[in-house]
């Protein structure tokens, strides 16, 4: 259960700090709420899983993709590496660095349509 968000930052020089909540809407100069889930309810657990994809050395022409800072290289036997998430407190914003893709799995937000 829960939700998974896909966040993409196409900026070359701006890191985005995003907050996702099921509470009422808030916006400040530093952090913008990018998602609000009316009718959602919170489940147990206060952490989320994040998967950050970036290009090696920030070079968009690189042939190496990094997952949470580690190269996604296939072994000589053809095995792909484990996709280990970063575990983050729900109180922390999701940080999306320039030219990156983030998948955030949020198990503690359970929107009503997902429970039907």
pLDDT at residue 25, as a whole number? 44
- Would you state the pLDDT for residue 98? 96
The HSE-up count of residue 47 (CA atoms within 13 Å, CB side) is 6
Q: What are phi and psi of 57, to 5 degrees?
A: 60, 20
Give me the residues of the chain with pLDDT under 50, please. Answer: 24-27, 29-33, 36-44
In the numeric block, the tokens 């309810």 are attached to: 41
> For residue 22, what pLDDT is reported?
67
Please give the structure tokens belonging to residue 109.
Answer: 């937000």
Task: Tell me what pLDDT residue 99 has.
Answer: 97
Number of domains composing the chain: 1
**Pairing assessment for the beta strands 41-42 and 3-9 based on DSSP bridges:** unpaired
pLDDT in the model for residue 107: 87
User: What pLDDT sits at residue 20?
Assistant: 82
Are the C-beta atoms of 55 and 65 separated by less than 8 Å? Answer: yes
Domain that holds residue 30: 3-115
Which residue's structure tokens are 């503690």? 108
């Amino acid at each position: 259960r829960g939700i998974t968000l896909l966040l993409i930052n196409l900026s070359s020089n701006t890191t985005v700090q995003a907050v996702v909540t099921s509470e009422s809407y808030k916006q400040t100069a530093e952090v913008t709420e990018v998602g609000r889930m009316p009718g959602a309810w919170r489940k147990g657990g206060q952490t989320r899983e994040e998967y950050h994809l970036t290009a090696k050395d920030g070079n968009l022409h690189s042939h190496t993709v990094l997952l949470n800072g580690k190269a996604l290289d296939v072994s000589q036997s053809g095995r792909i590496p484990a996709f280990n998430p970063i575990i983050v407190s729900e109180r922390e914003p999701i940080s999306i660095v320039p030219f990156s893709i983030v998948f955030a799995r949020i198990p503690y937000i359970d929107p009503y349509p997902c429970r039907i």
